[in-house]
């Protein structure tokens, strides 16, 4: 945790933050913080800054925050990913928030197992928690928007055209395609398939909607590594 | 598992592969393979190809391999990483093999916890197993070389000069440095610090040895994501 995130609900009338639970444990055990020391803090979806520890014990910490900096800018990428298995999904949610992606769309495809849509990881409160973990790591406060699309065709026909307006749209797909561009410096939309890839019908539909197929080379990467490697390459 | 890896010990006098244990379970349960079907196989540190299933039951599978392709080329990068906590180390070993790094050096630094060097993950047989998992994912056969260096100063003074001869040497470090270059297209050596970063003495020593500090932007990434994002950016 490189940034302690809080909401207005953590703040009392005197303006101090009342921190309890896992965040308190983390302050005490990992950082070993004591009265008078400063902690980096950020208001969720707001500014970042530092907070002086006014008191701290096993029940709670009182922090006096001064928020004076904006969070880092998001990268101008909309990410569209075929819903991965739950374990991978958790990591992708953290990674997306950590890397500064502002918008994630999880979609159904032929090779997405139906059971994946039932995972508790997709519960709104859980999604929020995993996103916060990524933000805490990279010192951001702005929670990415996550949407689920359980039907492929309506997503591609009805939603995708709006999402890719004004963006360069790329489809990462194994095959004999040009290599993924580097440092695009423009807003982009990136589509990444499931384990096992998109089926030809899906590739056709995505290409028809305006997505440009690009290759990441001969290696088949886990979805999480493909996301991170492509983001490092694009921006 | 996108590639079933084997050694000559799996091969009997008739040239067939005798597959048992976890690889057999994977063939049966995940892939649902039956007699007459083909499986992608690769000889560890050798060629890749396919194998026809001659027989398969709950005890073993017999496979008839034809190896006719070289494994994908490694990326020309030597990676130097401060030893991370065990959980992260496992992931980094898999990721390094998956992404095609040929050589990994794990080093001690001031902020590496001493206990990390005691982890069973570092046992040679475990390191090998994690590397194989990465190779199976990306269909490679060539096991990366992994070395441990438990003393920082001797590593930088005695080992590093030889490692970076003929390579562009980059030190990924938070701070006001030029951004990490893209698509270097030359052999490189990349140094990545521990959680909490290198201390100034270490940065000085690495710079003095010829490493060029570069920044990944304002976000602090987990070590594993930093590795993957930088590799995606460099090659």
End position of a domain, from candidates B34, B52, B69: B69
pLDDT band at A20 (very low <50, low <70, confident <90, very high): very high
Q: Which CATH number does the domain housing residue A64 bear?
A: 2.40.240.20
For residue A81, pLDDT beyond 90: yes
Element (H, E) at B205: helix B200-208
Mean confidence (pLDDT) of chain A: 95
End position of a domain, from candidates A32, A53, A69: A69
Residues B40 and B151 in one domain: no
Which value does ipTM take for this structure? 0.92
Residue of A nearest to B232 (CA): A229
pLDDT band at A234 (very low <50, low <70, confident <90, very high): very high
Residues A132 and A17 in one domain: no
pLDDT band at B1 (very low <50, low <70, confident <90, very high): confident
Domains in chain B: how many in total? 2
In this prediction, residues B173-199 reach a mean pLDDT of 92
Residues A50 and A79 in one domain: no
Cβ contact B49:B67 at 8 Å:
yes
Residue of A nearest to B96 (CA): A225
For residue A175, pLDDT beyond 90: no
* Range with the poorest average pLDDT among A88-102, B22-36, B201-215: B22-36
For residue B226, pLDDT beyond 90: yes
Which chain A residues are Cβ-neighbours of B113 within 8 angstroms? none
Residue of B nearest to A92 (CA): B225
Could you report how far apart the first and last alpha carbons of chain A are, in Å?
24
Which residues of B have a CB under 8 Å from any CB of A? Answer: 2, 72, 95, 98-100, 137-140, 182-183, 217-222, 225, 228-233
Q: Which of A183, A222, A232 sits opposite B229 (nearest CB)?
A: A232
pLDDT band at B31 (very low <50, low <70, confident <90, very high): confident
**Would you call A219 and B98 a contact, using CB atoms and an 8 Å cutoff?**
yes
Tokens 């990467």 sit on residue: A221
Q: What angle do CA A178, A182, A188 make, to 5 degrees?
A: 90
Q: With pLDDT > 70 as the criterion, what percentage of chain B qualifies? A: 100
**Would you call B182 and A2 a contact, using CB atoms and an 8 Å cutoff?**
no
Cβ contact B5:B141 at 8 Å:
yes
Could you report how far apart the first and last alpha carbons of chain B are, in Å?
24
pLDDT band at B197 (very low <50, low <70, confident <90, very high): very high
Residues B56 and B149 in one domain: no
Residues A88 and A192 in one domain: yes
In this prediction, residues B102-130 reach a mean pLDDT of 97
pLDDT the model gives residue B195: 86
For residue A11, pLDDT beyond 90: yes
What CA–CA distance (Å, rounded) separates B95 from B116? Answer: 19
Which chain A residues are Cβ-neighbours of B217 within 8 angstroms? 72
pLDDT band at A200 (very low <50, low <70, confident <90, very high): very high
- Tell me the pLDDT tens digit for each residue of B53-111: 999 999 999 999 999 999 999 999 999 999 999 999 999 999 999 999 999 999 999 99
Q: Which CATH number does the domain housing residue A177 bear?
A: 3.40.1280.10
Q: What are the structure tokens assigned to B101, written together?
A: 């790094």
Q: What are the structure tokens assigned to B140, written together?
A: 């490679």
Which chain B residues are Cβ-neighbours of A72 within 8 angstroms? 217-219
In this prediction, residues A19-48 reach a mean pLDDT of 93
Cβ contact B83:B191 at 8 Å:
no
pLDDT the model gives residue B138: 96
For residue A29, pLDDT beyond 90: no
- Tell me the pLDDT tens digit for each residue of A44-75: 999 999 999 999 999 999 999 999 999 999 99
Put the strands of the sheet holding A48-56 in their side by side order: A4-6, A38-43, A48-56, A61-69, A17-19
pLDDT the model gives residue B217: 86
- Tell me the pLDDT tens digit for each residue of B3-16: 999 999 999 999 99
Q: Per DSSP, which regions of chain A are E strands?
A: 4-6, 17-19, 38-43, 48-56, 61-69, 75-82, 101-107, 145-149, 168-172, 188-192, 212-214
Give the CA radius of gyration of chain A. Answer: 20
Residues A119 and A190 in one domain: yes
pLDDT band at A196 (very low <50, low <70, confident <90, very high): confident
CB pairs under 8 A between A and B: 73
End position of a domain, from candidates B26, B43, B69: B69
DSSP characters over A96-142? HHHHTEEEEEEE--TTS-GGGGG-GGGSHHHHHHHHHHHHHHHT---
For residue B158, pLDDT beyond 90: yes
**CA-based nearest distance A158→chain B, Å:** 32
For residue B161, pLDDT beyond 90: yes
Mean confidence (pLDDT) of chain B: 95
**CA-based nearest distance A217→chain B, Å:** 9
Q: Which of B72, B231, B232 sits opposite A218 (nearest CB)?
A: B72
pLDDT the model gives residue A174: 85
Which chain A residues are Cβ-neighbours of B88 within 8 angstroms? none
pLDDT the model gives residue A119: 98
Q: A198: domain range?
A: 75-234
DSSP characters over B67-81? EEEPPPPPEEEEEEE
Residues B199 and B164 in one domain: yes
Residues B16 and B106 in one domain: no
Q: What are the structure tokens assigned to B51, written together?
A: 């194998």
**Would you call A98 and B182 a contact, using CB atoms and an 8 Å cutoff?**
no
**Would you call B228 and A232 a contact, using CB atoms and an 8 Å cutoff?**
yes
Q: Which of B137, B218, B219 sits opposite A222 (nearest CB)?
A: B137
Among B143, B155, B154, B151, smallest CA distance to B189 is for B155
């Amino acid at each position: 945790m490189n940034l302690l995130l809080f909401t207005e609900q953590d703040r009392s009338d005197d303006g101090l933050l009342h921190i309890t639970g896992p965040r308190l444990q983390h302050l005490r055990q990992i950082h070993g913080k004591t009265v008078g020391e400063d902690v980096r803090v950020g208001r969720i979806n707001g500014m970042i800054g530092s907070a002086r520890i006014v008191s701290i014990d096993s029940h709670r910490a009182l922090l006096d925050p001064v928020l004076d900096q904006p969070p880092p800018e998001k990268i101008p990428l909309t990410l569209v990913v075929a819903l991965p298995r739950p374990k991978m999904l958790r990591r992708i949610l953290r990674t997306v928030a950590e890397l500064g992606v502002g918008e994630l769309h999880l979609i159904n495809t032929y090779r997405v197992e139906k059971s994946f849509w039932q995972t508790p990881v997709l519960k709104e409160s859980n999604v929020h928690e995993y996103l916060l973990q990524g933000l805490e790591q990279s010192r951001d406060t702005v929670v990415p928007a996550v949407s689920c699309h359980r039907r492929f065709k309506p997503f591609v026909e009805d939603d995708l055209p709006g999402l890719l307006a004004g963006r360069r749209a790329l489809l990462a797909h194994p095959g004999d395609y040009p290599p993924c561009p580097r440092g695009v410096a423009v807003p982009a939309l990136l589509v990444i398939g499931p384990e096992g890839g998109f089926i030809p019908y899906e590739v056709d539909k995505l290409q028809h909607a305006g997505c440009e197929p690009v290759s990441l080379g001969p290696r088949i990467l886990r979805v999480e590594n493909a996301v991170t490697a492509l983001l490092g390459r694009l921006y």
